[in-house]
A and B are shown apart, each in its own frame.
Chain A
C-alpha cells in the first residue's frame, strides 16, 4: 500500500521522535471583539494562526508546513508554504508540506471554494511563520544567554553576531517547542522588500517532483489492505429511485461479492447520495461488469420529463415576464427605456455545464472499532467529516478525513456525496475498506450541474448611443434548490456575482430575477453565476457599441465610467463575496486598467486578416478584476480557432505570480471550451452526454495557441488580496464571442458556438 502523507499520522510519528516542534494543539489568545465579521472571520471555524498547528521542525531541520486547504492544481500547498516559510526565514529546499485532515476546529475553515485560500489565510499563515521564527530566536537567546533582539534568524540559521554563535533551526527546534507562542500583536511581519519567497516567480510547485514521478496520491489512488471496490448504478433522473431490481446475473460475475440498494435521499438532497444499486467486488472491473449485469426498473420521480430544450423555452418566457423579483433599481429604468431615442434588447442562453474534473470523484472508507477513516479527494473535508459522522451515527471526532490531492475540483468535490456512498457500503460490509469509483460517465450523468440560464437585457440609448437605461433579467434554477425546498429565485450570493454589483456608469439600472424551477441537481461550478452574467453583459455592451457605431473598447471604458470606488451595498448587493464593503469596494479604476492592459497588449485597433477578429471583455469577480482580449480565426466551415489570448488580472498583491499565471491560463482554456463546445443537455430527465466524446472540452488542437498573462497592480502591499482561482474565467467566453462577431459579423447569443457558424 502506498503511504499517504497525512498530518494525523505524522503527529504520531513525530511524537515518538525527539525535538520536533510539533506541539500539542493549543488555543491562541482571544481576538478583538468586532460587531460584524467578514471574510475569513465569517466562515465556520474562521482561521487559526498558531504555529503549533501549522509548523513542525524536525531535528534535522526539515520544516513541515501543514496545509489545511485542498490542493486541486491551483498550487495552494505551495503558496501557503511560501507564506509560512518566508516569515519563518526557512530555506525553501528544506521545506515540505503535509496535508491536514478535515478538522476545522483545529485548523480553521477548510472549504476550498470561493477563491479564498490566500485571501483568507495569507496573513494568518504569515503570522504562524513569524511566530515560529520568534520562538526559535527566543530559544537561541536563552540557550546562549544573550538578548533575543541580538539573535538573527536568516535562511534556516540562527545567529548571534557578537559571539559568533550559530545554530541550524533543527538544533534549536526542541527548545523552541517549549516556548510560549508569542502574542499575535507582538509579531513583526516582514516588509515586502524583505520577502524571500513571496512575490517570486520562480518557486515552482512544491509537489511537482512527486507529481511528475507518480509519487503523489490522488483520491482514485487510495488503497488499503483487504479493500473492496464498488460502483453504483444511480437513478438516471434526479429524484428517481429503484422500483425493483434483479441482481442474479450481477452476483454471478466473478469477483462480485455483494449487491446493495442505497436509498434515495430526502429532498432537498444537499450532499446526500442519489441512491441506486451498488455492486461491491474484489476489483473495479468486476464491479463494473456486475453493474452492467444488473436489471433495474427505475421510478423517475418528478423530473422524468425534464428536457433542456423545452426548458429553455420556459426560461425565455420567464425572462420576458415582468413579474420577477426586482433585486436592483437605480433611477427609473422602465420609464427611461420608454423615453430613450433608441432601444435595444437581446437574450442570451447559457447551458448546463459539468465540472468534469480530470479525476472523477472517488473515495475510500473503512470503519473499525467505532471509528471511521476516509481517504478522499474533497474540497470540503470538514463537511465530509460531519456528514459521514451523521450517516454512520458517530461523533465527528471519530471520523478522520484524509485529504488526498485532487485531480481537479471546480466545485464538484465540495460535495461529499461520493464519500457518503463509500461510508454506507463500508458499513454494509462490516467496516471493510470500500472504495467507490465514479467513472467518467457516472460523473457526467450525476453531477451537481452548473445552472442553465436565460439572460434578457434591454438598453435605452441616448442620441450619442450611450446607454441611459439598463434592464437585466436573469432566469435560472438556483443552487439553493439543493439546500431548501424548491426555492424559485436565485440566492443573493448568486445575484451578487455580476448582477447586483454590476459597476456600469448608467443612471437608470434595473435587475429582475424571475422564477425558475430546478429539475436537476444544481451546484457551484468554477465562477458560478459570474459565467452567465458576464457573458450576457459583456456581449450586450459589445452589441450596443456596434449599434452605436463606436469602437468597442472605447465604449466599454465609457460605460464603466471614470475611476471611482463603488460601495456595492448601495447598489443592492448583499453579498460582496463575504467581504467588508468598506475594505473591498468595487474600484472601476482597477477595472479600467486591466482593460487597457489587455487591449493594448493585444494591439487593439490593428488591422486583422479576413475572418479574423479581436474581441474584448472584462469582469469583476471574487474581488479581483480581469480583462481578456482574444483573437479568433473563423474558417469557412465555421470552425473557430483561438490563436492568441491576452488576459490581465488585478488581484491585489501577487503572492505567487507563477500560480496566478497558471490559473489565468487554465481559465482561458476552460472559457474557450464554454464558448465553443461544452454543454450538458437533458432529455427525459437524463443527461445526454456520456464522456469526453460528447461533453467536449478543448483538446490540444482547439486550445488557444498563445496565452499571455499580464499581472496588473499589486504595488500596494497593504491592499487586500483578491481571488485568483475563479475570476479569470467569466470574461473569456464573451471575449471570444465578441471576437467572432468582429471576424464574421455574426452574433452568438447561445452557448456553445458549436455548429452555429457552419451554415
Chain B
C-alpha cells in the first residue's frame, strides 16, 4: 500500500511531466485514478466497526496516537497472528484528506472546459493544501 501523500506526490511529478498543452481535465482523470485507489485504501484501513473506525480515523485525522483496539503495546506482546487473520491494520489513510481533495477536484472538473485557468488554479490549490497539510482542521 502506497501512502496517500506519496501517491499524490508521484502524481504531481507525473503531472509535471505532462505536456503543458494537456488540458485540465486530463490532469483530473489522472488524479481520479489515484483518488479512487486512495479511497479504497481508506475504506480498507478504517474498518466496518464503529469502535475501530472511530479510533483509526480519529488518529489519522489528528495525526495523534489515539488509543483503539488495534493500537496497544500490551496486545502487541501477544502471540503472532495466524496468517489469515489480518491482525493490526496500519494506521488509517487520512480519509478526510482524500475526501476533501476529491471535493476540490470535483469542483475543478466542473470548471474544466469552461474556465481552464480556474480549473488549473483549483487543482493546484488543492494539491498545495494537501502536500502542505493546510487543509487540516483547526484543533484548539
Interface positions of A (Cβ within 8 A of B) = 27-31, 35-39, 41-48, 105, 108-109, 111, 113-114, 116, 119-120, 268, 270-271, 325-332, 380, 382-383, 386, 389-390, 395-397, 411, 414, 478-480, 482-489, 491-493, 495, 500, 515, 517, 524, 528, 569-570, 572-581
Please tell me which one of the listed residues A36, A105, A329 contacts residue B85 in the complex, with CB atoms under 8 A apart.
A105
Contact present for B96 and A489 (CB under 8 Å): yes
- Assuming A46-B87, A48-B85, A572-B102, is B140 touching A486 (CB within 8 A)? yes
Chain B window 34-75, contacts with chain A (Cβ cutoff 8 Å), 1 for yes, 0 for no: 001011111111111111111101110110101111101011
Contact present for B57 and A109 (CB under 8 Å): no
A495–B98 alpha-carbon span in the complex (Å): 13
Contact present for A485 and B50 (CB under 8 Å): no
The answer to whether B128 has its CB under 8 Å from any CB of chain A is no
Contact present for A492 and B96 (CB under 8 Å): yes
Q: Which residues of B contact A479 (CB under 8 A)?
A: 50, 54, 58
Residue of B nearest to A115 (CB): B48
A577–B124 alpha-carbon span in the complex (Å): 31
Q: Which residues of A contact B81 (CB under 8 A)?
A: 45, 105
Q: Which residues of A contact B106 (CB under 8 A)?
A: 328-331, 572
Closest Cβ–Cβ distance, residue A756 to chain B (whole Å): 31
Residue of A nearest to B62 (CB): A484
Contact present for B64 and A491 (CB under 8 Å): no
Closest 4 A-B residue pairs measured CB to CB?
A578-B48, A31-B84, A483-B58, A480-B58
Closest Cβ–Cβ distance, residue B83 to chain A (whole Å): 4
Which of A27, A113, A329, A396 neighbours the largest number of chain B CB atoms within 10 Å of its CB? A329
- Assuming A105-B81, A386-B69, is B59 touching A483 (CB within 8 A)? yes
A270–B40 alpha-carbon span in the complex (Å): 27
- Assuming A37-B44, A327-B103, is B54 touching A332 (CB within 8 A)? no
**Could you give 7 example pairs across A and B, Cβ below 8 Å?**
A44-B70, A45-B86, A108-B85, A114-B48, A395-B77, A488-B139, A488-B140
Q: Which residues of A contact B70 (CB under 8 A)?
A: 44
- Assuming A331-B110, A486-B140, A569-B39, is B52 touching A43 (CB within 8 A)? yes
Chain B binding surface SS class: helix
The answer to whether B132 has its CB under 8 Å from any CB of chain A is no
Q: Which residues of A contact B82 (CB under 8 A)?
A: 27-28, 48, 105
A485–B66 alpha-carbon span in the complex (Å): 9
Q: Which residues of B contact A581 (CB under 8 A)?
A: 39-40, 43
Q: Which residues of B contact A45 (CB under 8 A)?
A: 81, 85-87
Contact present for B42 and A574 (CB under 8 Å): yes
Please tell me which one of the listed residues B38, B55, B83, B87 contacts residue A31 in the complex, with CB atoms under 8 A apart.
B83
Interface positions of B (Cβ within 8 A of A) = 1, 36, 38-55, 57-59, 61-62, 64, 66-70, 72, 74-75, 77-79, 81-89, 95-96, 98-100, 102-104, 106-107, 110, 135, 137-140
- Assuming A382-B69, A396-B78, is B103 touching A488 (CB within 8 A)? no
Closest Cβ–Cβ distance, residue B78 to chain A (whole Å): 6
A493–B47 alpha-carbon span in the complex (Å): 9
Q: Which residues of A contact B62 (CB under 8 A)?
A: 480, 484-485, 487
A20–B98 alpha-carbon span in the complex (Å): 52
Q: Which residues of B contact A120 (CB under 8 A)?
A: 48
Q: Which residues of A contact B74 (CB under 8 A)?
A: 386, 389-390, 395-396
Residue of B nearest to A577 (CB): B48
A573–B107 alpha-carbon span in the complex (Å): 16
A47–B86 alpha-carbon span in the complex (Å): 8
Please tell me which one of the listed residues B53, B72, B107 contacts residue A390 in the complex, with CB atoms under 8 A apart.
B72
Residue of B nearest to A528 (CB): B50
A113–B45 alpha-carbon span in the complex (Å): 17
Contact present for A44 and B88 (CB under 8 Å): yes
Contact present for A574 and B87 (CB under 8 Å): no
- Assuming A30-B84, A414-B51, is B79 touching A105 (CB within 8 A)? yes
A493–B98 alpha-carbon span in the complex (Å): 13
Contact present for B140 and A484 (CB under 8 Å): no
Which of A48, A328, A389, A492 neighbours the largest number of chain B CB atoms within 10 Å of its CB? A492
Residue of B nearest to A576 (CB): B43
Closest Cβ–Cβ distance, residue B68 to chain A (whole Å): 7
Q: Which residues of B contact A573 (CB under 8 A)?
A: 39, 99
Residue of B nearest to A517 (CB): B140
Residue of A nearest to B36 (CB): A569
Q: Which residues of A contact B51 (CB under 8 A)?
A: 111, 113, 380, 383, 414, 524
Please tell me which one of the listed residues A30, A35, A271, A332 contacts residue B1 in the complex, with CB atoms under 8 A apart.
A35
Q: Which residues of B contact A37 (CB under 8 A)?
A: 44, 86, 89
Q: Which residues of B contact A575 (CB under 8 A)?
A: 42-43, 46, 53, 95
- Not counting A483-B68, A491-B58, A493-B95, a sample of 14 additional A-B residue pairs whose C-beta atoms are within 8 angstroms of each other reads A44-B47, A113-B50, A325-B135, A325-B137, A329-B107, A395-B74, A414-B51, A483-B58, A483-B66, A484-B59, A487-B139, A493-B54, A574-B96, A578-B53
A414–B54 alpha-carbon span in the complex (Å): 12
Contact present for B42 and A492 (CB under 8 Å): yes
A585–B86 alpha-carbon span in the complex (Å): 24
- Assuming A111-B52, A414-B51, A492-B42, is B83 touching A42 (CB within 8 A)? no
- Assuming A31-B83, A491-B53, is B103 touching A574 (CB within 8 A)? no
A487–B88 alpha-carbon span in the complex (Å): 24
Contact present for B47 and A578 (CB under 8 Å): yes
Residue of A nearest to B38 (CB): A574
Q: Which residues of B contact A489 (CB under 8 A)?
A: 61, 96, 137
Closest Cβ–Cβ distance, residue B88 to chain A (whole Å): 6
A338–B135 alpha-carbon span in the complex (Å): 27
Closest Cβ–Cβ distance, residue B109 to chain A (whole Å): 9
Closest Cβ–Cβ distance, residue A556 to chain B (whole Å): 25
Closest Cβ–Cβ distance, residue B15 to chain A (whole Å): 21
A397–B90 alpha-carbon span in the complex (Å): 23
Contact present for B49 and A114 (CB under 8 Å): yes
Contact present for B96 and A43 (CB under 8 Å): no
- Assuming A329-B103, A488-B138, A581-B43, is B54 touching A46 (CB within 8 A)? no
A460–B130 alpha-carbon span in the complex (Å): 31
Please tell me which one of the listed residues B50, B61, B83, B104 contacts residue A411 in the complex, with CB atoms under 8 A apart.
B50
Residue of B nearest to A623 (CB): B48
Contact present for B43 and A47 (CB under 8 Å): no
Please tell me which one of the listed residues A327, A380, A389, A411 contacts residue B100 in the complex, with CB atoms under 8 A apart.
A327
Closest Cβ–Cβ distance, residue B7 to chain A (whole Å): 13
Closest Cβ–Cβ distance, residue B3 to chain A (whole Å): 14
Q: Which residues of B contact A389 (CB under 8 A)?
A: 74
A116–B103 alpha-carbon span in the complex (Å): 30
Closest Cβ–Cβ distance, residue A256 to chain B (whole Å): 34
Q: Which residues of A contact B39 (CB under 8 A)?
A: 569, 573-574, 581
- Assuming A36-B1, A487-B137, A572-B103, is B47 touching A42 (CB within 8 A)? yes
